[in-house]
Structure 1
Amino acid sequence: MPIHIARLAQAQRFQPAGHYDVGPLHLFGGEKYDGAVTVALSHYLPGGRADLSPVPIQTLYLVLTGTLTLTDADGRTWDLHALDGARLTSGTPRSVENRTNLPASMLVIRPNPDASPVKAEVQP
């Protein structure tokens, strides 16, 4: 099927190492997923954080609601607000923290290393 629908009600919860008071959901991804890109929706409670660690593969962050603070290995920080984003190259150490008193949500978008090779579809 050329169109794949993701429904929030069917999203799979998961718990990545080093994440605290974060509720991530696979919108596109998880076990037996062979799409080219994974998309997770992560909800950060106030004080929620992802510890400083390298991202395993190029990663895009897009904050949907609230404010999240992104910190690199040198201690530089960036506050990302709604519809702000960041691109991290493979292996970049980072931490993410919600330093506010309101929840924050962001999309985490990555290439899927387990994806099937892309096949071009030829239309008659």
Structure 2
Amino acid sequence: MHVTRFADAKPYDARRHHAMVGLQLQGGAESATEAFTCGLSHFLPGGGAEMSASAAEKLYIVVSGEVTVLTEAGTVTLGPLDSCHLAPGEARAIENRSNAVASMLVVLSKTRG
């Protein structure tokens, strides 16, 4: 078992994100997970991520606030405990359109290559 205490979670930089602080909870440099990583993203008002795609499968789970996810298939605003799945290669953008900080768990599959 590997425990990451919230107080000890390390921040990380996410490319193409702005006004966002990410904390690595599991995977990456934090633990030896084999199939996924898990982070907690805090988006300031107006913060988000530009439209992009990756080979990773993604799960977004909003913990607090609201996050708007934009894809070619449409736009959805997620509130607390709402979640969405993005397939590998599916492009998305993220926006915090509110005046409150939004927090979201991000689970990414590890890509093999």
The two structures have a TM-score, normalised by structure 1, of: 0.83
RMSD, aligned α-carbons: 1.5
Structure 1 counterpart of 2:95, one-letter code: E
Query: Does residue 89 of structure 1 match 2:87?
Result: yes
- SS of the aligned residue for 1:64 comes to strand
Q: Higher Cα Rg: structure 1 or 2?
A: 1
Higher strand share: 2
Separation (CA, whole Å) in 1 of partners of 2:64 and 2:30: 30
- The percent of aligned pairs where both chains have the same amino acid is 36
Q: How does 1:101-116 map to 2 (within 5 A)?
A: 101-113=99-111
Separation (CA, whole Å) in 1 of partners of 2:24 and 2:31: 10
Q: Deviation per CA, 1:37-95, whole angstroms, max 9, x where unpaired?
A: 21100000000010000033111000000000000035x21000000000001010000
- SS of the aligned residue for 1:90 comes to coil
> Does the CA-based 8 Å contact 1:34-1:112 persist in structure 2?
no
Q: How does 1:25-36 map to 2 (within 5 A)?
A: 25-31=23-29, 33-36=31-34
Structure 2 counterpart of 1:82, one-letter code: P
Separation (CA, whole Å) in 2 of partners of 1:9 and 1:55: 29
- SS of the aligned residue for 1:9 comes to helix
Q: Deviation per CA, 1:1-55, whole angstroms, max 9, x where unpaired?
A: xx21111111111111110000001000232742132110000000001000003
Separation (CA, whole Å) in 2 of partners of 1:67 and 1:86: 13
Unaligned runs of 5+ in 2: none
Q: How does 1:11-26 map to 2 (within 5 A)?
A: 11-26=9-24
Unaligned runs of 5+ in 1: 115-124
